Amino acid sequence: MKVQLRSRRQITLPEEAVSELGISEGDEFIVKVEGDSLRLLPVVTIPRDEAYLFTPEWQRVLQTVEKELREGEYETFANVDDLLKDLND
């Protein structure tokens, strides 16, 4: 795919690349120069109050819970009162 550098140092990304990568207007990128090449790396912004979800500790907990769910290692309750009673026992 060939693109042209335009005024104000802008390029237009081919629709095929945009669709394949699932990127859209407003997405942010880091630009890296590697030798005589440029790489555009999508930036994912995580709100500060959700950052803990991506810590190694939280990811380990999440993996454990997902494994237990897949293997049927959970209880179901008929109502909230039964659930709360079980939590307090």
> What are the tens digits of pLDDT across the range 44-76?
889 999 999 999 999 999 999 999 999 999 999
C-alpha 52/C-alpha 86 separation (Å) is: 28
Tell me the whole-structure pTM to 2 decimals.
0.52
Q: Tell me which DSSP letter residue 25 carries.
A: T
For every residue of 28-83, DSSP letters joined together read -EEEEEETTEEEEEE-----GGGGGGGSHHHHHHHHHHHHHHHTT-----SSHHHH
> What are the tens digits of pLDDT across the range 15-31?
999 999 999 999 999 99
Q: Tell me which DSSP letter residue 6 carries.
A: B
Look at the block and give the residue holding tokens 């629709």.
Answer: 15
